[in-house]
Every structure is written in structure tokens, then in C-alpha cells.
Structure 1
Amino acid sequence: MKKILLLLANGFEAVEASVFTDVLGWNKWEGDESTEVITVGLHKQLQCTWNFSVIPEKLLHEIDLKDFDALAIPGGFEEAGFYEDAFSEEFQTVVRHFDEQKKPIATICVASLILGHSGILQNKKATTYNHPTSKRLEQLQSYGANVANERIVYTEHIITSSNPGTAFDVAFGLLEMLTSPDNTLKVKDLMGFK
């Protein structure tokens, strides 16, 4: 069984987290049955961007990072306090661990800024929230990333994406990295994605 650490910061967007639980959950029951998602946070209760509360299965200090095969991180809103957890030393340690082990890391929207903040995107191609009214691409570039204004960017074992609309594609991309293209097509078909 491949265990995926779904790392949740206060202020995360619920829809961006739910794609990982759904896609990898469908795989657990209907695909090759090889994936299990564990939700992890710094607090016993987390507040989503739109005031939806979530109780993570584990607190970060309760887990051993070596037990996990991949890392998934949804984005969130600054106004909801997302960057307080996201830029914490605890989150940075998690990111650096998975990068050092070259294990898959999948982020949606501004979650790539967590990777940039940790230093792992230095001289690597990446993207983040790219709406013309946003300065997030410039922020990502300030971390030394080679910014690509693209929908989704795959660089080595890392997936970054440009907005919430990419969420399912990122989750399927992570599933393919963990299983196979054929298995991913099967799960997509079962979920109604053609």
C-alpha cells in the first residue's frame, strides 16, 4: 500500500484537498487498490478558506515521514491564514524530506509557494496561481524558480499547477506517478472522466 500524506494548512481550499481524497480513494476501492490517503495538519481542527471545519486524521508530530510514499498539498487563501501554517518550519521540514527522498510531491495553485519557500524549487521549472490580477507568479520567481505560466508543470518528481481548475488533473497526475497510466485511465473512466 502506498501512503499519501495530504498536508493541510489552516485556510486551505476544501475542493483542492478533496480531489486527492476522491481520486486516490477511488483507486483504493476500484483501481489497483494500492493507495491510502492520510490527512495531516498542525492543529486538531482546521478551518478551510470558506469556514468549513475539518479534523485531520493525524497531527504532524504524530507521524513518521518515512512511512509515506508521496506528499499532496492543496492551496488556500492568505485572508484565511493559509501562509501561517504553510510557511511554518514544520511544513518546510516535510517538503524538504520528500524532496530529498525524490518522492512525488503534488501541489495545487498557491501550494507551490510552500515548495518555493522551502528552497526546493531553486532553478526548477514551476508554476502557481496565474490570474492576470495576481502577483503570485512573481512571488514564486522570487524564490528562484524558473516560472512557467502554464496550466500544470511536471518537474522531476514535483507537480505544480496554476489554479483550482487544475485540481483533478493534478490528482490524476499523482495517481499515475504512484501506479500506472493504464490504472489511471481505468479510475478516470470509472469516475466519468473521458
Structure 2
Amino acid sequence: MKKVCLLLPNGFEAVEASVFSDVVGWNKDEGDGTTDIITVGTREKLRCTFAFTVLPDLLVSDVNVDDFDALALPGGFETAGFYEDAYREDVLDLIRAFNAQGKVIASICVGALVLGKSGILQGRNATTYNLNDRVRQKQLAAFGATVIPDQPIVVDQNIITSYNPSTAFEVAFTLLELLTSKENANHVRRLMGFIE
């Protein structure tokens, strides 16, 4: 069973987290059955960007990277405390550990800024939120990433980044494809109604 660590800092955007759990879950029940997802939080009770509470399966301090095959990270809102939690050193260390082992890391929207802050995007192609005068893309470039501004999803070796919430499902399917196969990911896409 391939396990995905769904990393949830406080203030994460729920829709961006839910696509990972849905795609991985659909694959577990209706696809090739080889994937599972474990939610990992920065605290015992997490507040989403738009005000509901989530109880993660594990805390960051409980994670053994060797138990997982991939890391998934949604974005979030500054006003909800996302960066305050996501930029914690234990979170950044966890990201670095996944990358050091070459495991797949998928982020949506401003989740890429957390990857950038960890240092793993130095000299690598990536993208992040592309609207509002591209402020977030400039921040990502300041972390040393080579920003591909108008490409919705950027894959550089083991890392997937994307430029806004509209890309969320496709990021999750790309993650599934890297963990299983293109044929299997398309099978799940078809079952979920994304392709005919």
C-alpha cells in the first residue's frame, strides 16, 4: 500500500486538501487499490481557512517519513494563520526529509511557498498563485525557484506545484499517476467523471 501524508497546517484551504483525500480514496476503493492517505496536522485541532475544524490522524512530530511514499500539501490563507503554522521549522524539516528521499511532493497554489521556504525548490522549476499582480510568484522566486508563471501545473522531478485552486484536482491526479500509472490515474479520472 502506498501511503500519502496529507500535511495540514492550520488555516489550510479545505477544498485543496479534499481533492487529495478524494482521488486517493477513489483509487483505494475503485482504482488499483494501492493507495491510502493519512492526515498529518501541525496541531490536534485545525481550523480551515473558511471556518470548520479538522482532527488529523497524526501530528507532525509523530511522522516517520519511511512510512510514506508521498507528501501532499494544500495552500491556505495568511489571514487564517496558514504561513505562521506552515513555516514552522518542524514542518519545513518534514518537507526536507521527504525530498531527501526523493519521494513525490505535491502542492497546490501557495503550498509551493512552503516548499520554497524549506529550500527544496532552489534552482528548480515551480509555480504558485498567479493572480493579484503575481505577488506570490515573486515570493516564490525570492526563495530561489525558477517560476514558470503561466503554466497551471509544473512538475520538476519529484515535485508538483500549481498556480491556483482551479488546478487542485489535476494536481491530485498527477500525484496518483506518479504513484501508480497513467492508465490507472485515467481510470480513476473516468470513474470520477473528469474524462469520458
Deviation of 1:42 after TM superposition, in Å, equals 1.7
Amino acid at match of 2:107: T
Question: Partner letter of residue 145 of structure 2?
Answer: A
Q: Which residue of 2 aligns with 1:114?
A: 114
2:110 aligned with 1:104 = no
3-state SS in 2 of match to 1:40: strand
- Tell me the TM-score normalised to structure 2 length: 0.97
What is the CA–CA distance in structure 1 between the aligned matches of 2:166 and 2:63, rounded to whole Å?
Answer: 31
Counterpart of 1:163 in structure 2 is 164
Q: What pairs up with 1:43-54 in 2 under 5 angstroms?
A: 43-54=43-54
- The residue number in structure 2 matching 1:125 is 125
Q: CA deviation at 1:132?
A: 3.7
Q: Which letter maps to 1:187?
A: V
Cα deviation for residue 90 of structure 1 reads 0.8
Residue 180 (1) aligns with residue 181 (2): yes
* Equivalenced residues, count: 194
Q: How far, CA to CA, are the matches of 1:110 and 1:26 in structure 2?
A: 25
Show structure 1 runs of 5+ residues with no match: none
Q: Which amino acid aligns with 1:108?
A: I
Question: Where does 1:16-55 land on structure 2 (aligned, <5 Å)?
Answer: 16-55=16-55
Aligned partner of residue 102 in structure 1, secondary structure: coil
Q: Distance in 2 between matches of 1:86 and 1:61?
A: 14
AA of the residue aligned to 2:83: Y
Matching residue of 1:73: 73
Helix, strand or coil at the partner of 2:7:
strand
Distance 2:190 2:76 in 1: 29
1 CA distance for matches of 2:132 and 2:93? 32
Paired with 1:34 and 1:137, the residues of 2 have a C-alpha distance of: 35
**Could you tell me which amino acid in structure 2 is paired with residue 171 of structure 1?**
A
* Amino acid of the structure 1 residue aligned with 2:194: F
* Gaps in structure 2 of 5+ consecutive residues: none
- How large is the RMSD of aligned CA atoms in angstroms? 0.7
Q: Which of structure 1's runs of 4+ aligned residues deviate more than 3 A?
A: none
Aligned residues with identical type, % of pairs: 57
What secondary structure sits across from 2:110 in the alignment? helix
Q: Distance in 1 between matches of 2:156 and 2:132?
A: 24
Render the CA deviation track for 1:141-179: whole Å, top value 9, x for unaligned: 000110111211000000000000000000000000000
Q: Which residue of structure 1 lines up, in the alignment, with residue 139 of structure 2?
A: 139
Distance in 2, matches of 1:34 and 1:6, equals 16
CA shift, 1:133, in A, is: 3.4
